[in-house]
Structure 1
Amino acid sequence: MAPRANWKGFLRLSLVTCPVALYPATSDAEKVSFNQINRKTGHRIKYAKVDADTGEEVASEDIVKGYKVDTDTYIEVTKDELDDLALESTHTIEIDEFVPRTDIDSRYLIRPYYLVPDGKVGHDAFAVIRETIRSMNKVAIGRVVLTNREHIIALEPLDKGLMGTLLRYPYEVRSEKEYFDDIQDVKVTKDMLDLARHIVEKKSGDFEPENFEDHYEAALIDLINKKRAGVRIAAKAAPKTGGNVINLMDALKRSLATEKQATPAAAKPKKTKKRIEGQREMLLPISGKRAKEEPRKEVPKKAEKPVRAPARSKKAS
């Protein structure tokens, strides 16, 4: 199924315009997610929108936006009034300026999107804008409206398309001073720095995101598969926290010795395990019946599939 665009409109650089579509570059859909259920019935929990005073459920058509100005005092703002505030950036990404990529503080980055031509027309104009940005080795700064709010977007070439990254406004970024003021000024000796540098050199390598593994996601998948198969889940002992305070120099020396004993990064064999895009391929096939939640005996290796508890008479809504 083709991905759905979050936004469609036009990309404009002065008088050069082309229709474009904006797609999210990341997704959390493949991660394991949970629903809240009633422990007694196994049914899913639903939430109703109710009046805070009367407790009565409110129909969707009767719900409007309101800005709180005082206790129990709100200024009602209708959808039509919000639509009247529509900006040009609602339908057009206007490139305002070009800046060096290094000028953009990483704290201002929100999330990436892919920007592509929309339809069969406008590919020439899109290519002109893309190659202009590429040739200048800069980032184009524009504005776009998503979810009824205007955002700053930074555009840079990525292969045949453009990657757009939403940026925060200055008022959204907290100053580091209120957090860093209490950090003590410590004199770091050259010997300590030399030892730390040696540790870093031993651990240095290339950035290869395909080798990253989400250990928590893998543990969740293993837990779900075991519970589905009726395997008893043993409680783990709580990890030990804290430890004895040791000499920093001694700790650096021990760390370096440990790294020297380990296999050098260059000699480590590359992982041959096929990368799995999400958890769906790793989860066991769903039998269509609810597995027993209570502890049960271990299943012998050659035994048949564990017997499932009969499905509840009422399905979760």
Structure 2
Amino acid sequence: MPGPVIWNGHVVFGLVMLPVSLVSAVERGGTPLHLVHAAGGCYGRIRYRRVCELEGREVAEQDIGRGYELPGGRTIPITDDDLDHLPLATVHAIELLGTLPAEAIDPCQIGAAAYYLAAATEPAAARPYVLLVEALARRSQVAIVKFAVRGDRERLGMLRPRHGALVLNALRWSDEVRPPAGIAPSPTSVSEEELTAALDLIEARSVDSLDEVEGLTDRYAQALAAVVDAKLHARDLARPSEPVRGPHPVDLMDMLQQSVRDARADRDRDEDSPPTTPAGP
């Protein structure tokens, strides 16, 4: 089910105005861990409350607004209506700046925010929506856009088609990405045999879609529940074993070749396994 509408506006490409609504495309997962007062075995919940620093009292949600603080300390109140009428084109429009191949985007620039652009319900809005989806898909490109959500800065984004819908990924501005200075190792030569073995390993692990990758399950909540159950019943919990490290120096070529054999064996085992039959009601 789609989430609540965050923003209403238009995608503007050329003279075409495409009415859309912005809906979050992701849900936040997590585990039921809370901050508690640990001293003295109290374990009472720690809660953060909104307190007015001038009156020293907690403020109700409906009494909280926005304000712009001037250098001298004076605060100018800013209402939702003020934000809706900023002298900024991207307040009501997602401005298409250009298109390029997705691989041209620096992975460090892709932020965590992801949205669906829901088409307006008017029949006339369907054609330009489908047109933009199919044009981007046909060219295997993404669109670079600018947009602004209420109370936020003007943001950079990447618009791409997905299953017939438009998805907007927030991008970080170039000056927000740190250079990888001191991260990559110093230049080191590798042999053609090692490179061939590494390519074989990548090929043995290659799949056509993310759904085919095994192990894509977040088991953190299960592990945490096991810890809670062990503490509740005062029993020890087996800890995961440390990775086995081979003797030094390690023969990289041997490790690559063995990894390739293991990967191919896993793939053959999966192909030989009979398909699972869904359980009946």
- So what's the TM-score if we normalise by structure 2? 0.74
> Could you tell me how far apart the structure 2 residues matched to 1:87 and 1:130 are?
26
Deviations 1:94-137 (A, max 9, x none): 22322232322222111332112132442223223333333443
Match among 125, 130, 151 for residue 128 of structure 2: 125
Q: Does 1:177 align with 2:181?
A: yes
Q: Specify the SS of the correspondent of 1:107.
A: helix
Structure 2 residue ranges without an equivalent (≥5): none
- Compute the displacement of 1:150 (Å): 1.6
Q: Does 1:234 align with 2:236?
A: yes
Residue number in structure 1 paired with 2:24? 24
> Could you tell me how far apart the structure 2 residues matched to 1:74 and 1:239 are?
56
Deviations 1:163-187 (A, max 9, x none): 111111111111123544xx32222
The amino acid that maps onto 2:136 is I
The amino acid that maps onto 2:223 is A
Instruction: Quickly say closer, same or farther: Cα 1:25–1:2, change in 2 above 3 A.
Output: closer
Q: Does 1:146 align with 2:149?
A: yes
Asked if 2 retains the 8 angstrom alpha-carbon contact of 1:26 and 1:112, the reply is: yes
Q: Does 1:160 align with 2:164?
A: yes
Count of residues paired in the alignment: 265
Residue number in structure 2 paired with 1:216? 220
Instruction: Quickly say closer, same or farther: Cα 1:221–1:147, change in 2 above 3 A.
Output: farther
Asked if 2 retains the 8 angstrom alpha-carbon contact of 1:66 and 1:74, the reply is: no
More helix by share: 2
Asked if 2 retains the 8 angstrom alpha-carbon contact of 1:205 and 1:265, the reply is: no
Instruction: Quickly say closer, same or farther: Cα 1:206–1:37, change in 2 above 3 A.
Output: same
Asked if 1 retains the 8 angstrom alpha-carbon contact of 2:116 and 2:167, the reply is: yes
Residue number in structure 2 paired with 1:112? 114
The amino acid that maps onto 2:35 is Q
Instruction: Quickly say closer, same or farther: Cα 1:274–1:19, change in 2 above 3 A.
Output: farther
Instruction: Quickly say closer, same or farther: Cα 1:13–1:274, change in 2 above 3 A.
Output: farther
The amino acid that maps onto 2:46 is I
Higher Cα radius of gyration: 1
Q: Specify the SS of the correspondent of 1:213.
A: coil
Over the residues paired in the alignment, what is the CA RMSD in angstroms?
A: 3.8
- So what's the TM-score if we normalise by structure 1? 0.66
The amino acid that maps onto 1:133 is L
Q: Does 1:252 align with 2:253?
A: yes
Asked if 1 retains the 8 angstrom alpha-carbon contact of 2:146 and 2:156, the reply is: yes
Asked if 2 retains the 8 angstrom alpha-carbon contact of 1:22 and 1:114, the reply is: yes
Identity %: 19
> Could you tell me how far apart the structure 1 residues matched to 2:249 and 2:148 are?
54
Asked if 1 retains the 8 angstrom alpha-carbon contact of 2:200 and 2:260, the reply is: no
- Compute the displacement of 1:253 (Å): 0.9
> Could you tell me how far apart the structure 2 residues matched to 1:38 and 1:113 are?
37
Which protein has greater RCO, CA pairs closer than 8 Å, 6+ apart?
Answer: 1
> Could you tell me how far apart the structure 2 residues matched to 1:172 and 1:139 are?
21
Instruction: Quickly say closer, same or farther: Cα 1:45–1:11, change in 2 above 3 A.
Output: same
Q: Specify the SS of the correspondent of 1:192.
A: helix
Asked if 1 retains the 8 angstrom alpha-carbon contact of 2:11 and 2:18, the reply is: yes
- Compute the displacement of 1:139 (Å): 2.0
The amino acid that maps onto 2:133 is R
> Could you tell me how far apart the structure 1 residues matched to 2:277 and 2:168 are?
30
Deviations 1:274-297 (A, max 9, x none): 99xxxxxxxxxxxxxxxxxxxxxx
Structure 1 residue ranges without an equivalent (≥5): 276-317
